[in-house]
Amino acid sequence: MMYWIIFIGFALLSWIVSYRLKNKFERYSKVPLPNGMTGKDVAEKMLHDNGIYDVKVISTPGHLTDHYNPANQTVNLSESVYYSNSVAAAAVAAHECGHAVQHATAYAPLKMRSALVPVVSFSSNIMMWVILAGMLMINTFPQLLLFGIILFASTTVFSFITLPVEIDASKRALVWLSNAGITNVSTHDKAEDALRSAAYTYVVAALGSLATLLYYIMIYMGRRN
């Protein structure tokens, strides 16, 4: 019963945060930058201002699919960001370039997150099946559930390492947007609000993952006792 209360609580919180994020981006997508720069322009300028010339800015399909890919050194911006000259587009583009700057400066949390990607990718593919089987076999083969918990723990660690990476990228973006004159007194707060709302999604995801991990641990410890 406690698990379902926690699960529903985090699901509701996640929906509220996502809903607010969507609304804010829609609102700030209608606020143009004073200089008329598009997301692509903003991204390329931020990269060059930080001495980065080997990273390409490209357009990618979808909505809010923006990301930095360290494997091929590309800043991928969704079409609504790439071609838009809005405050929201500038904030997103600068944030993703913040990851490129982290990569160029060997930012420690980013290196840790990158190192965990293969582990998390493997864990994500099998952990729920292992955990389900482990629950069914808790009395005869408890080690299976323990293995599933270890797999799930790796994804939880990944979620928490992601937090400083995302927050730092937003901080770098906001400082640069202000210093470069991309945002002004009337638009900077909007860019900050958009990125803060985006950060909340990672916080909720990390806390939800931790709560679920603790639930699985409680099942393992309870059944073992």
Q: Of the residues 26, 44, 79, 96, which is catalytic?
A: 96
Q: Averaged over 158-163, what is the pLDDT?
A: 95
Contacts of 47 (CB under 8 A, 6+ apart): 53, 55, 57, 75, 97, 100
- Once rounded to an integer, what is the mean pLDDT over residues 183-208? 90
Query: Tokens standing for 90?
Result: 């500038």
- CA separation for the pair 146, 152 (Å, rounded): 10
Tell me what pLDDT residue 59 has: 95
Residue 158 has pLDDT above 70, yes or no: yes
Q: Is the pLDDT of residue 149 over 90?
A: yes
Concatenating the DSSP letter of every residue in 78-121 gives EHHHHS--BHHHHHHHHHHHHHHHHHHTT-HHHHHHHHHHHHHH
pTM flag (> 0.95): no
What's the one-letter identity of residue 18?
S
Residue 32 has a pLDDT of 92
Q: Please tell me the predicted confidence (pLDDT) of residue 1.
A: 63
Q: Cα torsion at 51, 100, 204, 183 (round to 10°)?
A: 40
Distance CA 148, CA 150 (A): 5
Give the span between the Cα atoms of 76 and 57, in whole angstroms: 6
pLDDT band at 195 (very low <50, low <70, confident <90, very high): very high
- Going by C-alpha positions, the residue among 68, 70, 72 that lies closest to residue 98 is 68
Answer for the pair 61, 136: CB distance below 8 angstroms, yes or no: no
Q: How confident is the model at residue 219 (pLDDT cuts 50, 70, 90)?
A: confident
Q: Report the number of secondary-structure helices (H) and strands (E) in the chain.
A: 7, 3
Res. 218 pLDDT band, cuts 50 70 90: confident
Whether 96 is a known active-site residue: answer yes
Instruction: Give the model confidence (pLDDT) of 36-55 as tens digits.
Output: 899 999 999 999 999 999 99
Cα–Cα distance between 126 and 151 in angstroms, integer? 8
Q: State the Cα–Cα distance between residues 16 and 121, nearest whole angstrom.
A: 28
Position 2 scores a pLDDT of 65
CA 168 vs. chain centroid, Å, equals 12
Q: Which tokens sit at 14?
A: 């996640």
Average pLDDT over residues 13-29: 84
Which residue did the predictor score with more confidence, 223 or 212? 212
Give residue-wise pLDDT tens across range 92-117: 999 999 999 999 999 999 999 999 99
Tokens (6 digits) for 121? 């990718």
pLDDT at residue 223 in the model: 66
